[in-house]
Structure 1
Amino acid sequence: MKKALAVTLGVLTAIGGFVDIGDLVANAESGARFGMRQAWIVVVGVIGICVFAEMAGRVAAVSGRPVFDLVRERLGPRTAMANLIGSYLVTLLTLTAEIGGIALTIQLASGLPHVLWVPLAGFAVWIVLWRVKFEVMEQVFGVFGLALVVFVVALIALDPPWGTFAQQLTHAGPPQGENWGTWGYVAVSLFASALTPYEVFFFSSGGVEEKWTTKDLSTERSNTFVGFPLGGLLGLAIMGCAATVFEPAGIEVDQLSQTALPVALALGKLGLVVVMIGFFAATFGAALETGLSTGYSIAQYFGWQWGKLVKPREAARFHTVMLVSVLLGTAALLTTIDPVQITELSLLFSAVVLPLTYLPILVVANDRDYLGDHANGRVQNFLGVTFLIIIVIAAVAAIPLMIITGMGKT
């Protein structure tokens, strides 16, 4: 039973990292514009995050220290500082989007403007980060996030054109009327949403919070190879629902409410209630992950006391960083900026900084001084290098594609 509960760390990471406000909209937007032609990108992203999350989790289990802590020691303060600045800014942007996602979900239930709910959402995230134990957080939001399985049920109930989907999978380019630039921009966003930097920082730091040792390597791998593929499956179901309902009508998706519409059409009011529970759990869980990751990265770089296992008074600077980050995100949302636009920006800049995050992980995972016999083997290094090349390509392409397409509008 204890091992089953331990897998919820991976489930929480997958639900919060794979199916957050960005993926809820990005997968639906891709399905509405391109059908299932970009489904393979989600699959590639799932494999990529599994490869690097497994390395990060193994580092934590064997060394008893999180990845970011070792990056500074192994690569030096300057390289680690570049990593810190890039990852923190992107994580802060993502935290802002997730708080906005919570507010948008409450708006769906209440009908009141989401801006009214932003202060409450920010306050609730901070209270949970401050007062709730790590295990309770991961288990509660991991379990309730599974409500998003309703997209799988809805996709089956919609009776989609499976033959057309199969055709689209074998013709991965843009459909008639769409251009390669927009197709590439959405592709980079989808890929980046699977490998956002905070995921590995949260995953490895969470392993330390859970007190993983070499005896827990099976748990670490269960978290990786159950949680992240589950998130990918849900992302594909969201894409499939949008491809079934919106693509034939030529309707573009740019709002969270549109993402929920196929579920409501297929399953009625009950389905809508379930999907809103899933939306809330996914965005709140992602807000907790990103909030924790802001504290983890800065505290670990400067060698401060950190973690949920430590009393807030003993890790005051760690909790202060999280509080300030939540306040900054909340303040940005109160300017009435659209949370979906913030999410698109966070995905874009995630793509840009991905090499700064994943190259150091690959380096540390090969260091036998830290991992001994548990260091990377040939297969792990082959996969790591292969995905690192893909990551660099996405990073180089992100900004030009944003400029050329006007953030996917043309």
Structure 2
Amino acid sequence: MKGLLKVALGVMTAIGGFVDIGNIVTSGVTGARFGMTLAWAVVLGTLIMVLYGEMAGRVAAVAQRAVFDVVRERLGVRFALVNLVASALLALLTLAAEIGGVALVLQLVSGVHYLIWVPVVGLAVWLAIWRLPFSVLETVFGLLGLCLLVFAAALALLPADWHQFAEEVFSPSVPAGEPLPTWLFYGISLIGACVVPYQVVFFASGGREEKWTVRDMRRARVNTLVGFPLGAVLSLAIMAAMVPVLRPDSVDVHHLGQVTLPIAQALGVAGLLLTFVGFFACTFAAAAESALSIGYSFGQYFGWSWGKRHRPVDAPRFHLVCLASVIAATAFVLTTIDPITVTIVSVVLGGAAIPLTYLPLLVVANDREYLGRYVNKRWQNALAMLALLVMVVVSVAALPLLIATKAGQ
């Protein structure tokens, strides 16, 4: 049992990083509109995240330093400052999307408009960061997020065409009547939702919170090999559940409630309750992760005391940055900008900024001064360079496709 609980960090990272509001929305939209023809994007994003997540965990365990801290020292203050600004702004946009996502879930449950819930959610996120132990955050929300397996159960009960599923997964093509740029835009959105930059900062910093050492490397690898693929399974289950219910009627997913329609049809009220619990857990966890990652990044760059293990009086600047981030994100959502639009834009911009985070990580993972004999092996570097090439292509294509397709319309 103790060993299972140790995997909770990876589970929380998967639930809160993979299956956050961005992945729920993009999986719902793509399943309803394109079927399973974009499943490859989830698989590709997962493989990249596993590869680089393992590096981040290894750096944290062997060097006993957080990734952002090592990047600043290894690649210089100026380069790290660009990385800090980009990652912080993207994490802040993600935080706004997650706060809006939690508020939308509460609207579905209560019928009260989501804007009423936004300040309540912002306060709850801050209180969780301030008061809840790290072990509670990772265990409780990670396990509650597993309620999203209800999508897999619903898929087993729905009249799915498994032959068509297999054909679309293994021989993907642009569906008839859909423009290629829009199809590619959502493919990039799915990759960006999987390989979110703040996730690496959170994962490695979480390892330092739990004081990983070389003896914990196996644990870190289990976290990446179990947690991230689990997030992919949940994402693909959401995508697949949309196909038999929403795709035949060409339903475009414009709000979170539409993503629950397959559950309502297959499992009724009990299934909906589990779905709402899963939605709440994964979006709330992602909100906490993204807020913490901003505090981690600033604390590591400027050399402050940082981490949830420190009380606010012992790490005041770290906690102040987290609080300011939550306030700014809450205020942004209260401007009444559509949370779904914020979500889609955040994952696409995240895709555009991926190389800024992952290239420095690859450099550090090959530095013998920090990792000694635990540097990347040749096959890891070969895969990492191939993945980095893919991420550069995604980065270059993201903004033009965002503009050309008007955010996938």
Shared fold per TM-score greater than 0.5: yes
Equivalent position of 1:46 in the other structure:
46
Question: Which residue is equivalent to 2:352?
Answer: 352
How far is the alpha carbon of 1:112 from its aligned partner? 1.1
Say which SS state the counterpart of residue 45 (structure 1) adopts. helix
* Counterpart residue number, 1:117: 117
Is 1:262 aligned with 2:262? Answer: yes
**Could you tell me whether the CA contact under 8 Å between 1:68 and 1:300 is conserved in 2?**
yes
Aligned residues: 409
The equivalences for 1:303-342 within 5 A come to 303-342=303-342
Q: Which amino acid aligns with 1:162?
A: W
2:387 corresponds to: 387
Q: What does 1:101-250 correspond to in 2, within 5 Å?
A: 101-250=101-250
1:82-132, CA deviations, whole angstroms, 9 ceiling, x for partnerless residues? 111111000000000001111000000001110000010000000010111
> How far, CA to CA, are the matches of 2:277 and 2:154 in structure 1?
15
CA distance in structure 2 between the aligned counterparts of 1:117 and 1:308, rounded to whole angstroms: 26
Q: How far did 1:338 drift? A: 1.1
> Is 1:6 paired with 2:6?
yes
Q: Give the partner amino acid of 2:44.
A: V
Q: Contact 1:305–1:318 at 8 Å: present in 2 too?
A: yes
2:24 alignment partner in structure 1? 24
Question: How far, CA to CA, are the matches of 1:92 and 1:244 in structure 2?
Answer: 35
Do the aligned residues in 2 keep the contact of 1:173 with 1:183 (CA within 8 Å)? Answer: no
Q: Which runs of 5+ in 1 are unaligned?
A: none
CA distance in 2, matches of 1:245, 1:214: 48
Q: Does structure 2 conserve the Cα–Cα contact (< 8 Å) formed by 1:294 and 1:321?
A: yes
Distance of 1:240 and 1:83 partners within structure 2: 36
Distance (Å, rounded) in 1 between the aligned partners of 2:171 and 2:224:
30
Deviations 1:57-103 (A, max 9, x none): 00000011110000000000011011111110000000000011110
- 1:92 paired residue number: 92
Letter in 1 for 2:61: A
Letter aligned with residue 103 of structure 1: A
**Which residue matches 1:401?**
401
Report sequence identity in percent: 53
Q: What displacement does 1:237 show?
A: 0.3
> What amino acid maps onto 2:21 in structure 1?
I
Q: Give the Cα–Cα distance (whole angstroms) in 2 for the partners of residues 354 and 40 of structure 1.
A: 18
Indicate if the aligned counterparts of 1:173 and 1:180 stay in contact, CA closer than 8 A. Answer: no
Q: How much has 1:171 moved relative to structure 2?
A: 3.3
CA-CA distance at 1:169 after TM superposition: 2.1
Deviation at 1:159, TM superposition (A): 3.3
Matched to 1:305, the amino acid is S
**Aligned-pair distance for 1:243?**
1.4
Shift of 1:244: 1.6
Give the drift of 1:325: 0.3
Q: Deviations over 1:137-161 (max 9, x none)?
A: 1011011111111111111111310
- What amino acid sits opposite 1:95 in the alignment? L
Question: Runs ≥4 in structure 1, deviation > 6 angstroms?
Answer: none
Cα RMSD over matched residues?
0.7
C-alpha contact 1:196 1:354 (8 A) present in aligned 2: yes
Q: How far apart are residue 335 of structure 1 and its match? A: 1.1
Distance 2:21 2:197 in 1: 16
Q: What SS does structure 2 have at the residue aligned with 1:310? A: coil
Report SS of the residue matched to 1:308: coil
Correspondence for 2:78? 78
Structure 1 counterpart of 2:295: 295
Give the distance between the partners of 1:40 and 1:184, measured in 2 at CA: 12
SS at match of 1:220: helix
TM-score (ref. length: structure 2)? 0.99
Q: 3-state SS of the aligned residue for 2:353?
A: helix
Q: In the alignment, is the contact (CA less than 8 A) between 1:100 and 1:333 conserved in 2?
A: yes
1:370-381 correspondence runs (5 A)? 370-381=370-381
**Paired residue secondary structure (1:406):** coil
Normalising by structure 1, what TM-score? 0.99
Q: Quick one: distance in 2 between partners of 1:45 and 1:273?
A: 29
Rounded to whole Å, the distance in 1 between the matches of 2:260 and 2:7 is 27
Task: State the secondary structure of the residue aligned to 1:112.
Answer: coil
Instruction: Deviation per CA, 1:216-260: give whole Å up to 9, x if none.
Output: 111101100000000000000000011121111111112111111
Q: CA deviation at 1:3?
A: 2.2
How far apart in 1 are the matches of 2:404 and 2:384?
30
The one-letter code of the counterpart of 1:227 is: G
Deviates more, 1:315-324 or 1:169-178: 169-178
Shift of 1:172: 1.5
Shift of the alpha carbon at 1:209?
0.4
**Cα distance in structure 1, aligned partners of 2:144 and 2:12:** 10
SS of match in other structure, 1:36: coil
| SS of the residue 1:246 aligns to | helix
Q: What are structure 2's unaligned runs of at least 5 residues?
A: none
Q: Whole-Å Cα distance in 1 between the matches of residues 167 and 362 of structure 2? A: 37
